[in-house]
Amino acid sequence: MGADLEPGVRLKEIRSKCLTVTHEFVVARCRDELGGHRGGGFVADALTSFLAGGKFLRPVFAYIGWTCGGAESDAALRAAGSLELLHCFALVQDDVMDGSSLRRGKPALHRRMAQWHREEGLSGSPEKFGESAAVLLADLFLVWSERMLRECGLPAAALSRGWPRYDDLRAELAVGQFSDLVNDAGRAPGWDSVLDVLRRKSGNYTVRRPLEFGAALAGCGEQQLAGLSAYGRLVGEAFQFRDDLLGVFGDPRVTGKPVGEDLRDRKATSVVVLAAELADPAQARELRALTRLDAVEPADVRRWQALIAATGAPGELERMIGRRSADALEAVERAGLPDPARAALAELASSCTERAR
């Protein structure tokens, strides 16, 4: 897979190959496990189209990590692809827990299953059915992820270097979601606690762990691993800060999510918590009043956005994003990585931190 390609083109190619191998795996699993079951065909369509909508960011990072020590390999593509199935699991379950009706601009999986329930004329509550079905289908993604890795075709020695990283990633994901749940339900969590969850859940999960996982599979040495870890931690945090900014200020036509979704959901994200810490007494009172509204109207969202902007939190986060991006590139320079990997990481740092969706 052309290591001599222009970085943006090469990344697109990696994404597309990861999608292909993961899609093949899911199609085979649906055929073997769901074939002949009522609703099996509908579910197979829903799962494969859910998969196809993904950015495959984690597999791409894992594969770039792999190329720091290993040659181009279909087995490594499959190992990397397993992380996307883990991500599908997390998204489907998150949407159920958050009651999100949209994912990537389309009905969330639990909504699709509820709609199927209606069309089939089944009895009971379509919503309840949709939620239960989506949780079960998320379980399938979780189980398939591990199986895809186990059966990827890499030698046992490579796999045994990868499992501890995979286990950490998976555990941090579930425990991070749990802490998120507790934080969202806690009254006004502090910045430190938000940063901790963000590091464990998204920062590590999206960039650092996938990179380390791929590099460990390839048997990279200490110096390279340390460089990738530093890059991953910094870009991961910047990625999440951007995500949180988009959750409050993002353009719904671009993000595919309702405007100000994180505000409506009272999520304790970085920008929300930082705004609360930077607010003057009058702003703080108004922010608290908005948090306590029973129903949030469009005008409330606009007022809320303006207030958060006025505290200076978005500007501060932009500065933090910029600083992290620069430090990440420096860490990569010092790590002695192959040129194509370095170029790809630089490209990924921009696309993760400057994106609009």
Q: Which residues bind a second copy (CB under 8 A)?
A: 29, 32-34, 37-39, 43, 93, 96-97, 117, 121-124, 129, 132-133, 135-137, 139-140, 142-143, 146-147, 150, 156, 163, 167, 170-172, 174-175, 177-179, 181-182, 184-187, 266
Q: Decide: 270 and 314 in contact? Cβ < 8 Å.
A: no
Q: Decide: 246 and 95 in contact? Cβ < 8 Å.
A: no
Residue 102 or residue 135: which is nearer to a second copy going by CB?
Answer: 135
Q: Decide: 126 and 115 in contact? Cβ < 8 Å.
A: yes
Shortest distance (Å) from residue 181 CB to a second copy: 6
Residue 197 or residue 313: which is nearer to a second copy going by CB?
Answer: 197
Shortest distance (Å) from residue 113 CB to a second copy: 9
Residue 67 or residue 82: which is nearer to a second copy going by CB?
Answer: 82
Residue 181 or residue 254: which is nearer to a second copy going by CB?
Answer: 181
Number of C-alpha atoms within 13 angstroms, CB side, residue 145?
A: 24
- Of 209, 208, 213, nearest to 152 by C-alpha is 213
Helix H or strand E segment including 106: strand 106-107
Residue 254 or residue 289: which is nearer to a second copy going by CB?
Answer: 289
Pure H helices in 53-190: 57-67, 74-98, 109-119, 126-150, 156-185
Shortest distance (Å) from residue 193 CB to a second copy: 8
Number of C-alpha atoms within 13 angstroms, CB side, residue 264?
A: 17
CA dist 230 and 50 (Å) reads 32
Q: Decide: 223 and 69 in contact? Cβ < 8 Å.
A: no
Shortest distance (Å) from residue 155 CB to a second copy: 12
Residue 48 or residue 132: which is nearer to a second copy going by CB?
Answer: 132
CA dist 336 and 334 (Å) reads 6
Shortest distance (Å) from residue 123 CB to a second copy: 6
Tokens of 344: 């790809």
Shortest distance (Å) from residue 338 CB to a second copy: 31
Q: Decide: 27 and 48 in contact? Cβ < 8 Å.
A: yes
Shortest distance (Å) from residue 142 CB to a second copy: 6
Residue 135 or residue 259: which is nearer to a second copy going by CB?
Answer: 135
Torsion of CA 75, 146, 130, 263, to 10 degrees: -90
